Amino acid sequence: MTLLTHGTRGDLQPHLNVAHELRERGHTVVVAANSNNLEVVNRAGISAYEIPIDTRELLESTRMRRLLLSGRAAQFAWESARFEAAHGAAMDQAMIGAAAGADVVVTGPLTAVAALSIVEAGGQALVGCFPYPVERTREFPSPFITERLLTSPRLSMATYAAVDAVWQLMNHRGSRRIRRTLGLPYRSPNPLGRIRRQRIPLDVMASPVLLPRPADWQENYRVVGASFTIPEQRSIWGEESIDPELDAWLAEAEPPVYFSFGSLPVLDPAACLEMIAEVARRTGVRALVGAGWSDFRAGVNADRSMLVTGHLDYARVLPRCRAAVHHGGAGTTHDVARAGIPAVITHVFPDHILWGWRLAALGIGCSVAYRKVNADVLTQALTPMLSDAVLRRAQAVGKAMAAEQGAVRVCETIEKQVI
């Protein structure tokens, strides 16, 4: 089995959980990962194949950070495509090499264009394993097109048609390049259309509590449940234990609110921490700050109302919090929801917008655009999330999600494709 991954931790982690489960079932597994994610795969004891591109380098560049802060997601996507095009031939060769000899190839959304051509040439079965939905539905619009939740089914479907067209345009050169390398005739690079027409199995590793399966999806699309980091893999992320200082701080007063912007850019760390401190003062809570990729100084402030930390075990720490303010990645959204606490999402990417819609629909969260975040905005958004009624709803959602095993269900799909 070969799993093709590309992106940040949020893109790698679900596939790494699947790889672990496949290995436990006796399969030989290879994970293709970016240069910046390769060490984690190696620490997990899984055979790794390097895709020679550093996505962290891209995301931390000054230009890309400013595009994210401005909310220009479309331009960010084009710049990402240009960056990858410069490394495209090497990326193609890596993914082709990783898939050689595999009986099943598993792809995420960012490697789907290449994967479709690779299995066409090599004859392998293909399974899609996505952390968020991309297939069209009348039930909600594509967050790739609109931040606002549209109620017209016709308008919703139109947004997906637009996404298909844009995705085809953006992937035109890359698709032509890898198909030429593989000796294949040119074909439209729209991966969503091909998955739909060929009815390729596509498992969305999301909780059906947060995302009920749309009734108008084809039978090859499933919502299989979330995949949370398993205890055996906590150590590879540096999360195998709770720091004693953090443990003591959590125990000494009321549950805090967890703040983290993940991989989103923070250009002025000191000002960001002061904003968080101000929000905490206004709402009467303590603040636990997860540094993510930001250059925050770790430690406790003078009056012990704020603690800044690096890696932490969400399964152990989040249930000891009162609410969370975070960037809205699929993994963090599910970890927070399973912990039974409400959330404020500060969205940038389309999947962040989607999870903001879903939390709001369940009455356990809300969202604001990251570019608009300040003390006033966060205070206004966070205050209603601290009510007892919202907390009770969040706790009920957490209990409903507790037994989900998305990685196990993806493995069942994969094993059905073995030829």
Q: Report yes or no on 200 lying in a domain.
A: yes
Question: Has residue 66 been placed in a domain?
Answer: no
Element (H, E) at 368: strand 365-369
Cα separation, 76 vs 79, whole angstroms: 5
Whether 59 shows a pLDDT value over 80: the answer reads: no
Range of the domain at 20: 2-52+87-227+404-416
Residue predicted with more confidence, 237 or 339:
339
112, part of any domain: yes
Phi-psi region of 71 (alpha: psi -120 to 50; beta: other; left: phi over 0): left
pLDDT given for residue 144 in this prediction: 85
Cα separation, 413 vs 415, in Å, equals 6
Split at pLDDT 50, 70, 90, the class of 179 is very high
Q: 187 pLDDT exceeds 90?
A: no
Q: What is the pLDDT of residue 360?
A: 96
pLDDT of residue 64: 67
Lowest mean per-residue pLDDT among 81-85, 153-157, 281-285, 346-350: 81-85
Residues 288 and 396 placed together within one structural domain of the fold: yes
The packing angle between helices 330-338 and 350-362, to 10°, is 20
Could you read off the pLDDT of 31-51 as tens digits, one per residue?
999 888 888 899 889 999 999
Question: Taking residues 75-86, what's their average pLDDT?
Answer: 67
DSSP letter (8 states) at residue 319: G
- What was the pLDDT predicted at 189? 66
Residue 75 lies in a domain: no
Answer whether residue 70 shows pLDDT above 80: no
A 10 A CB-CB count for 276 gives 22
pLDDT (tens digit, 9 = 90+) per residue, 240-251? 667 888 999 999
The answer to whether position 70 is within a domain reads: no
Are both 383 and 411 inside the same structural domain?
A: no
Tell me: pLDDT of 79 over 70.
no
The answer on 387 and 275 residing in a single domain is: yes
If asked whether residues 162 and 253 sit together in one domain, one would say no
284: helix, coil or strand? Answer: coil
Helix or strand holding residue 84 (H, E): helix 73-86
The verdict on residue 356 lying in a domain is yes
Residues 322 and 337 in one domain: yes
Q: What is the pLDDT of residues 262-318, one digit of tens each?
A: 767 677 888 989 999 999 999 999 999 987 666 677 788 889 999 998 778 888 899
* Number of structural domains found in the chain: 2
pLDDT tens digits, residue range 88-147? 889 999 999 999 999 999 999 889 999 999 999 999 999 999 999 989 999 999 988 888
Q: Which two tokens stand for residue 394?
A: 């969040």
Q: Does residue 283 share a domain with residue 170?
A: no
Grade residue 73 by pLDDT with cuts at 50, 70 and 90: low
Same domain, 312 and 164: no
- The per-residue pLDDT for range 364-387, each reduced to its tens digit, is 999 999 889 999 999 999 999 999
The pLDDT value recorded for residue 65 is 67
Tell me, yes or no, whether 214 and 284 share the same domain. no
Distance of CA 88 to the CA centre of its chain: 23
Percent with pLDDT over 90 in the chain: 59
How far apart are alpha carbons 177 and 280 in whole angstroms? Answer: 51
What is the per-residue pLDDT for 313? 84
Amino acid (one-letter) located at 98: A
Least confident of 85-89, 257-261, 268-272: 85-89
Check: CB of residue 263 under 8 Å from CB of residue 292: yes
CATH number at residue 283: 3.40.50.2000
pLDDT at 190: 79
Torsion sign across C-alpha atoms 164, 169, 170, 173 = positive
Whether the per-residue pLDDT at 231 is higher than 80: the answer is no
